[in-house]
Amino acid sequence: MPAAWTDAQVELAQRVAGSDVVSVRQWTPQELRTLLEIVERFEGIHDPLLQGKVLGVLFFEPSTRTRLSFESAMMRLGGSCLGFADAQISSTSKGESLWDTVRMAECYCDIIVIRHPREGAARVAAEATALPVVNGGDGANQHPTQTLLDLYTIHRRKGVVEGLKVGFLGDLKYGRAAHSLIEALGKLGNDLVLVSPQALRLPRRRLDELDERGVRWTETTEMLDAVPALDVLYVTRIQQERFGDPLEYERVKNTYQVDLSVLDRAKPGMVVMHPLPRVTEIHPSLDASPQAAYFEQARNGVTVRKALLALLMGALP
């Protein structure tokens, strides 16, 4: 028998029904904690809560995990999906504006998830329609549902999120998954260690925001110096597609690789995470390690997205 919903869970569910998920900025620390509790309630839930509802999947950029896990989540709750995974097969290729595409999707769907290369595109989409809009990644800006599944994975692995020292490794300039998670962990008061090549440091305005919130953070270019103190190492891909200069990418593309020798320097319980896809920054020999959590993250994405879709549609188990 599942535990009864708490007052905080019910209040949050009522507040978010019909709303958008555009940025982690919209959630307070307490809302993040309550959201994780609600996600946990959706473990193993396959009830047809969204029967007859349609998810519009508007993906203007490539994706494996975000698109498939949203579609899986919708279908596992009895709903269905339509949309496109390549903007070139939509009328965008004929010059249709994002605004108009979203207005069209509104005619065919009940809720929309959008991925777009332009920062702020999810907000534009949310303004174009009264339907709930979920940001599945907008340029180098935000990936809020990835953040929820990252927090959920940390919580399940470590039993807590708050109080952990979390290191971010790789492309902190362009990595939207890192940007969103850094913002959320900053809200929750975690200590952060930022490890990147000089050219891919977390942008100044994001560092200033951390300072304004009083977040404790340090920065280094040296992975091996950072690793021994960490509870979680969040590895990111160097985002080739966002570089203006291909030579600049060539200079930094192989800066880091996490392999078993790196784990020898870490605490035994340090968890290695990655939003995926990976290229060379995590050696496949790590995959069998109990410390590797990246495939688990992808699996948790379905539970997180089931919970979000149900919440936004106001349909609870």
Cβ distance to ligand CP smaller for residue 150 or 231: 150
**Are residues 230 and 165 in contact, defined by beta-carbon separation less than 8 angstroms?**
yes
Nearest distance in Å: CB 235, ligand CP: 12
Task: Report the DSSP beta bridge partners of residue 167.
Answer: 193, 233
Residue (65 or 76) nearer to ligand CP, CB: 65
Q: Are 239 and 140 in contact (CB under 8 A)?
A: yes
**66 interacts with ligand CP by CB under 6 A:** yes
Residue of 53, 76, 116, 143 with catalytic role: 143
**Catalytic residue from among 66, 129, 147, 303:** 66
Lay out the sheet containing 133-138: strands in order across.
80-84, 54-59, 111-116, 133-138
- State the Cα–Cα distance between residues 197 and 237, nearest whole angstrom: 12
How many residues bind ligand CP, per CB under 6 A? 10
On whether the CB atoms of residues 192 and 216 are closer than 8 A, the answer is yes
We find the least distance from the C-beta atom of residue 146 to ligand CP, in angstroms, to be: 5
* Residue 146 vs 190, nearer CB to ligand CP: 146
Residue 65 designated active-site: yes
Residue 173: active-site member: no
Interface positions, 142-181, toward ligand CP (CB under 6 A): 146, 177
Residue among 13, 275, 281, 282 that touches ligand CP (CB under 6 A): 275
Which residues lie closer than 8 Å to 298 by C-beta, 6 or more apart? 65, 69, 276
Active site residue 76: no
Position among 36, 57, 65, 180 found at the interface with ligand CP (CB under 6 A)? 65
Among 62, 114, 70, 71, smallest CA distance to 124 is for 114
In eight-state DSSP terms, residue 201 is P
- What is the CA 145 to chain-centroid distance, rounded? 4
Residue with tokens 């953040």: 147
CB 63, min distance to ligand CP, A: 3
- 63 vs 196 by CB, closer to ligand CP: 63
The catalytic residue among 34, 53, 65, 176 is: 65
Query: Which listed range, 57-65, 83-91, 152-160, 246-254, lies at the site for ligand CP (CB under 6 A)?
Result: 57-65
- The first and second tokens of residue 197, run together, are 């090549």
Catalytic machinery residues: 65-66, 94, 115, 143
What does the binding site for ligand CP look like in residue numbers (CB under 6 A)? Answer: 63-66, 137, 146, 177, 275-277
